Structure 1
Amino acid sequence: MVRTRRGAVSWSAMLVGALAAGVTVVVAAVSSTSDTDPIVDFAGGGGLTAAEQHPITIVGATPAPGIPTGDFDRQGNPVLANCTTCHATRTANSVTRDGTQLNDFHQGLTTAHGELACVSCHNPDDYSQLRLASGEGIEFADSLRLCAQCHGPQFRDYENGAHGGMTGHWDLAVGPRVRNHCLACHDAHAPKYQQVMPVFAPREFHAHGSRTRAEGYE
């Protein structure tokens, strides 16, 4: 939950399922109690319901990790395959902050985020998720929550429109609003996260007549 000057707005309700599809997300602020309640977003709206106001577009969000399949869903968004669909994972190193000890993925990757280790933000029990300081796993679509837990002053400014390069209308009853996601301007990785390349053999499936690594691959 995120509290604004006039009430509470659920960011997860605003962003659900959207960020994982692409870099531009169109959302509408909704009340934390019901989507038929009057809007309590800081921009006002004159007591309009979500169906009666203009949308908020959040630009620059990073989608969940995955490999493009070349297919698109009914909304025209690219369909991604999770890396663990084909590849096994390894036990996470709880202290590493760079890729100097890695052999297959992310070689040379470091972080530019203080003394935080990789698993400070990434869920070591589920690589398709992020993790809050409380230990709660969250989807990449909720990454604003991850940023907000440490960057409170910046997020307070963001929710009140003073941070994030907002353009458009304060009053959503008048017109739409466009703003940047945290990751549109800030990246915890240095150099910037590179495209994932499949470099080691698929996991050892046995179903449907698949061969094991010892048996070789065609």
Structure 2
Amino acid sequence: MKNRTLIYSVVLLLGIFLFSCKEEGKYHSISDKIEGESKPYHGILTSEELLADTELIEITEGEHTFLIPERKGQIKSFACIECHSKPVSQMMGKDAPKAHWNIKLNHANSDAMNCATCHNGEEMNQLNTLTGKNIDFNLSYKLCAQCHSSQFEDWKGGAHGKKVAGWAPPRASNTCVNCHNPHSPSFEKRWPVQFNTKTAIERNEGLGH
């Protein structure tokens, strides 16, 4: 019985060997064919061309040095001192020009956060930490890191957030405010992208059930 099993095994292995050689030509497996016909890439993998039109600054956080988008040039109302020529406390009143009324703070409990938690009322071109230290608008992620420390550690290591262009070097990562509205950082609920399934009308009808 053992001899018969051994013979069957040998015949089976021989058949597999002959079949693979016949199907793959000179290769005995798919992996052999991939290895044999693959052509090594001798070019340079880089995202520099994709980043050419983006204003970037270099930062170093711990052992990580990488690029992030310049922020102040993207803020329409910057520099703030063009309007905030004196402290906010002196500008308040019924006759004061009203601006930023479209902004609603939906970030943390009102007992824990207000505008002055992040904005420096004495120097409006700067943000400020919980301990009162100035932070440049380009480095606003440092404010977020005070409370969202685990996300910050993941971000600076490259695990959290999106890249500005591709994954090829140089590394250029979006910051918190490139994805999240700092005044209302939670994303709105939305349907996941679906292919060849229910239409938008059918999904909307399903909301009532």
**Interval containing the TM-score (normalised by the shorter chain):** 0.3 to 0.5
Flag the structure with higher helix content.
Answer: 2
Larger radius of gyration: 2
TM-score, scaled relative to structure 1: 0.46
Flag the structure with higher strand content.
Answer: 1
TM-score, scaled relative to structure 2: 0.48
